Structure 1
Amino acid sequence: MKTVLITGSSRGIGLGLVKEYVKNGYKVVATCRDPETASDLKSTLAETNQPSAIALDVASDDSIFKAAEEVSKIVDSIDILINNAGVAAKNHPNDPAIGVDREDALRVYSTNVIGPLKVTEAFLPLLRKGNEKKVVNISSFLGSLGCACPELGSFTTYSGSKAALNMVTRYQAFELNDCIIASVEPGWVDTDMGNAGGKVKPPLTMLDCAPKLVNTIEGLKREDSSFYFSLEGEKMQF
């Protein structure tokens, strides 16, 4: 049985991925900041005989490495690590370039950029024991320089963090050449973050997104390492 570890599993895309991987016969190691309050995740894992969720705050190195110790007691290896946990600016999608809140921006970058780097580092020993050795960083089309959408709002901090994530993904892949490491954007999904601001309803539901996202991740090959992909598996412009 293959094993997948997913960060930010309590809701949204993370929870959707948990449910989809369970359907696909995986052992799922779900993590989130506070498993006790993640009622949907807790019931999903219990009903499908999966391990209980592990506490992991990707903005805290202590939490990350403690979680890695806990996970090593549950599984001997990880085939796929999905760095899904992410946050947006407090006023997302009203985050103009003039007037950025420094502390809030640092919070977003700590979670969205440094988080995936440190999580990958902490779980690398378990990944290297897996068969697939895949790391997938969940990015966004808003992280593509060619996909800036000012008519939808101002995404300065969030977009910048996802563009940075795409770049650090490349450096991860160059350095960890025994693994397949890529970033994937899931499309504009109807989640709490996707609905922020309420200007336009997101076109995708989790029922649309999750199967396609899992399929694209499954299809990643050695030659895809270091690149950035759409929900449909097409190579994206950085």
Structure 2
Amino acid sequence: MKTVLITGSSRGIGLGLVKEYVKNGYKVVATCRDPETASDLKSTLAETNQPSAIALDVASDDSIFKAAEEVSKIVDSIDILINNAGVAAKNHPNDPAIGVDREDALRVYSTNVIGPLKVTEAFLPLLRKGNEKKVVNISSSSGSIAGATPSFVITTYCASKAALNMVTRYQAFELKDLIVVAIEPGWVNTDMGRSDCLGTPPLSISGAGRKLLRTISNLKESDSSWFLSINGDRYSF
């Protein structure tokens, strides 16, 4: 049985991915900051005979490496690591470049950029024992520098996703034995997606989960280091 580890699994895209991978026969190692309060996740895992969720705060190195120790007691290898956990600025989506809150921006970068780096580092031994050896960083079309427009200004979040795309490239350059990609999931009907004040997001959580699973399943070595759309096409950096 193949194994996938997903961060930020308590709700939104992360929970959608958990449900989709369970349906497709994977062993799912779900992680989130506080598993005890993640009622939907707890019931999903219990009903499908999956391991209980593991506490993992991607903004804390201690939490990350403690989680890696716990996971190593449950599984011998990981085929796919999905770095999904992410946050936005406190005033999202109203986050202009002039007036950025330094502490808040550092909180966002710690989670969205450094988090995937340290999580990948911590789980690298288990990934190298897996068959698929894939690392997927969930990015955003908002992180495309080429696609930036003055009508949609969410500075901190966009900058963090642009940085994540660059981080992905350097992870791939260094980890030549793995496939490492960034994928933008589209505009999904999550709490964060609805906060963009541009109407109702067109893509459901379950729909995004299905498309992401298909694209991740079809990843090839030649895709490594690239920023991809939810359909697997190369996206503009």
**What TM-score comes out, normalization by structure 2 length?**
0.98
Structure 1 position 96 matched with structure 2 position 96: yes
User: Hey, what's the Cα distance between the residues in 1 that align with 2:88 and 2:59?
Assistant: 13
Residue 182 of structure 1: CA displacement? 0.4
Structure 1 position 180 matched with structure 2 position 179: yes
Cα shift readout 1:83-105 (whole Å, capped 9, x = no counterpart): 00000000000000000000000
Query: 2:34 matched to which residue of 1?
Result: 34
Percent identical residues: 80
Query: 2:126 matched to which residue of 1?
Result: 126
- Residue ranges of structure 1 left out of the alignment (5+ in a row): none
Query: 2:75 matched to which residue of 1?
Result: 75
One-letter identity of the residue aligned with 2:131: N
User: Hey, what's the Cα distance between the residues in 2 that align with 1:224 and 1:87?
Assistant: 26
Residue 192 of structure 1: CA displacement? 0.5
User: Hey, what's the Cα distance between the residues in 1 that align with 2:68 and 2:187?
Assistant: 31
In structure 2, relative to structure 1, the CA distance for the partners of 1:97 and 1:188 (3 Å cut) is same
Residue 196 of structure 1: CA displacement? 1.1
Residue 203 of structure 1: CA displacement? 1.3
One-letter identity of the residue aligned with 2:58: V
- Aligned-residue CA RMSD (Å): 0.8
Q: Is the 8 A contact 2:28 2:51 kept in 1?
A: yes
In structure 2, relative to structure 1, the CA distance for the partners of 1:191 and 1:150 (3 Å cut) is farther
Residue 149 of structure 1: CA displacement? 4.2
Residue 200 of structure 1: CA displacement? 1.6
User: Hey, what's the Cα distance between the residues in 2 that align with 1:236 and 1:202?
Assistant: 20
User: Hey, what's the Cα distance between the residues in 1 that align with 2:124 and 2:101?
Assistant: 34
SS at 2:117 equivalent: helix
User: Hey, what's the Cα distance between the residues in 2 that align with 1:228 and 1:25?
Assistant: 27
The number of residue pairs the alignment matches comes to: 237
Cα shift readout 1:122-141 (whole Å, capped 9, x = no counterpart): 00000000001000000000
> Structure 1: which 4+ aligned runs deviate by more than 3 Å?
none
Q: Is the 8 A contact 1:142 1:149 kept in 2?
A: no
Query: 1:53 matched to which residue of 2?
Result: 53
User: Hey, what's the Cα distance between the residues in 2 that align with 1:102 and 1:142?
Assistant: 20
Query: 1:86 matched to which residue of 2?
Result: 86
SS at 2:5 equivalent: strand
Q: Which deviates more from structure 2 when the two are superposed, residues 139-148 or residues 80-89?
A: 139-148
